[in-house]
Amino acid sequence: MSVNRYTDDDFDYGYDIDDLDIDGDGQAEEHDKEMPRRPVKKRRRVKWDNIIILLTIVALSVLLVLLIRSFMNEQKDNNESLPAAASTADPQPTVSDKPQVQTTDESKMTEITTGNEPEPPKPAFPVETDITVVDGVTYINGILIINKTYGVPESYDPGVDPTAEAKLQEMYAAAADEGIILWTASGYRTYDYQKNLYDDYVARDGKEAADTYSARPGFSEHESGLTFDVCDPSSSFDNTKEAEWLKEHCAEYGFIIRYPEGKEDITGFMYESWHVRYVGEELAKIIMENDICLEEYFGITSEYADD
Ligand SMILES: [Zn+2]
């Protein structure tokens, strides 16, 4: 860095630059004549310095962004390789509003690791819910809910739902065409009827046992008019050809096996191969095809408040 590139007009060096003897001839150097050109030269140099610094910053920023992105992709791939390796793991209900991004990442990941086709995205449960209570009766996304958490008042007395009854008869007719004879052992129950039934079970088996297979009055789905016990309401119905047909075809008519095997802790009731509930064909197919229960679909509990 040579001093005579700058003038004392530009910097305060603490001395007068015109007094400096740069070439050692014992005389101060002459600057005055060159002064008009120098500021221009200086500005250009400073400008180029700025541009080089700016370009360096930009280049470093781009490099940093690329490094961060590659690091994040690596992390993502590591995370996603877990469910792929353990393909039997339960699909965790995730609220995903960008399935395309996931698919891209998964396909990239499988290309690298296994070369397998990416699995189709699995539906996420529970779904978003809109809960409304009308005269003490709970509806979630328009579906009437009765379980151990959501009861109905003693005064609720809707009778058999005509749509559910019509679909039930349609299902029975279709079964009969295949030589399967189905009939209704128990359908609509009033609050009082359920109360007598439950009290009898408690007297016979005790409250704790009765609660596993019979609902307290106000908490029985039979009080909805949407529920039917088909044929023999006991475990001897399990695995019969009638029970197999019912499980296989009930969703086509809008019914679900309401208390599935293996879901006892979620529904609050033992497996009932004979107990069907009308929810409409669309919802019935989703629930039966995904082997979930109504509580899992809506993400709700089934527990008595005072237990
Ligand atoms: Zn039942």
Distance, CA 177 to ligand 1 centroid (Å)? 25
Element housing 144 (H / E) = strand 143-145
Q: Is the same domain home to 72 and 185? A: no
Q: Is the same domain home to 188 and 271? A: yes
Distance, CA 206 to ligand 1 centroid (Å)? 19
Q: Is the same domain home to 241 and 285? A: yes
Residue, of 45 and 8, whose pLDDT is higher: 45
Residue 207 main-chain phi, psi, to 5 deg? -65, -45
* 62 DSSP assignment: H
Q: Is the same domain home to 76 and 224? A: no
Distance, CA 227 to ligand 1 centroid (Å)? 7
Q: End-to-end CA distance of the chain, in Å?
A: 87
Distance, CA 262 to ligand 1 centroid (Å)? 17
Distance, CA 186 to ligand 1 centroid (Å)? 7
Distances (CA, A) of 12 to 9, 16, 17, 282: 8, 8, 9, 84
- For residue 33, tell me if it sits in a domain: no
Sheet (strand 184-186) strand order: 184-186, 227-230, 275-278, 255-257
Distance, CA 275 to ligand 1 centroid (Å)? 5
Q: Is the same domain home to 145 and 101? A: no
Confidence of residue 75 (pLDDT cuts 50, 70, 90): low
Close Cβ partners of 303 (under 8 Å, ≥ 6 residues apart): 148, 149, 268
Is the pLDDT at 1 greater than 80? The verdict is no
Measured on CA atoms in the order 264, 269, 272, 278, is the torsion positive or negative?
A: negative
Distance, CA 249 to ligand 1 centroid (Å)? 18
Q: Give CA angle at 146 (282, 202), nearest 5°.
A: 135
Distance, CA 66 to ligand 1 centroid (Å)? 61
Distance, CA 134 to ligand 1 centroid (Å)? 24
Q: Is the same domain home to 63 and 182? A: no
Q: Which among 15, 16, 14, 17 has a CA at the least distance from the CA of 3?
A: 17
pLDDT of residue 70: 73
Average pLDDT of every residue of the chain: 81
Distance, CA 286 to ligand 1 centroid (Å)? 21
Measured on CA atoms in the order 203, 209, 212, 218, is the torsion positive or negative?
A: positive
Distance, CA 91 to ligand 1 centroid (Å)? 30
Q: Which domain holds residue 156?
A: 131-298
Q: Is the same domain home to 246 and 188? A: yes
- For residue 25, tell me if it sits in a domain: no
CATH number at residue 272: 3.30.1380.10
Confidence of residue 2 (pLDDT cuts 50, 70, 90): very low
Is the pLDDT at 253 greater than 80? The verdict is yes
Q: Is the same domain home to 101 and 248? A: no
Is the pLDDT at 17 greater than 90? The verdict is no
Distance, CA 274 to ligand 1 centroid (Å)? 7
Close Cβ partners of 164 (under 8 Å, ≥ 6 residues apart): 225, 226, 228, 254, 278
- For residue 294, tell me if it sits in a domain: yes
Q: Is the same domain home to 175 and 266? A: yes
Q: For the chain, give the percent of residues with pLDDT over 90.
A: 59
Average pLDDT over residues 39-46: 54
Write out pLDDT tens, residues 79-129.
Answer: 444 444 334 444 444 444 444 444 444 444 444 555 577 777 778 899 999
Distance, CA 131 to ligand 1 centroid (Å)? 24
Contact between 184 and 229 under an 8 Å Cβ cutoff? The reply is yes
Q: Is the same domain home to 108 and 143? A: no
Question: Where are the alpha helices (H) located in the chain, listed in sequence order?
Answer: 38-85, 99-113, 162-177, 191-205, 207-213, 241-249, 264-267, 281-289, 294-298
- For residue 162, tell me if it sits in a domain: yes
Q: Is the same domain home to 103 and 149? A: no
- For residue 7, tell me if it sits in a domain: no
Distance, CA 265 to ligand 1 centroid (Å)? 17
- For residue 11, tell me if it sits in a domain: no
Q: Which residues crowd ion ligand 1, with CB under 5 Å?
A: 229, 275
Confidence of residue 307 (pLDDT cuts 50, 70, 90): confident
- For residue 209, tell me if it sits in a domain: yes
Distance, CA 219 to ligand 1 centroid (Å)? 12
Q: Is the same domain home to 92 and 141? A: no
Distance separating alpha carbons of residues 173 and 26, to the nearest angstrom: 123
- For residue 18, tell me if it sits in a domain: no
- Total structural domains within the chain: 2
Q: Which amino acid is at 218?
A: G
Contact between 78 and 112 under an 8 Å Cβ cutoff? The reply is no
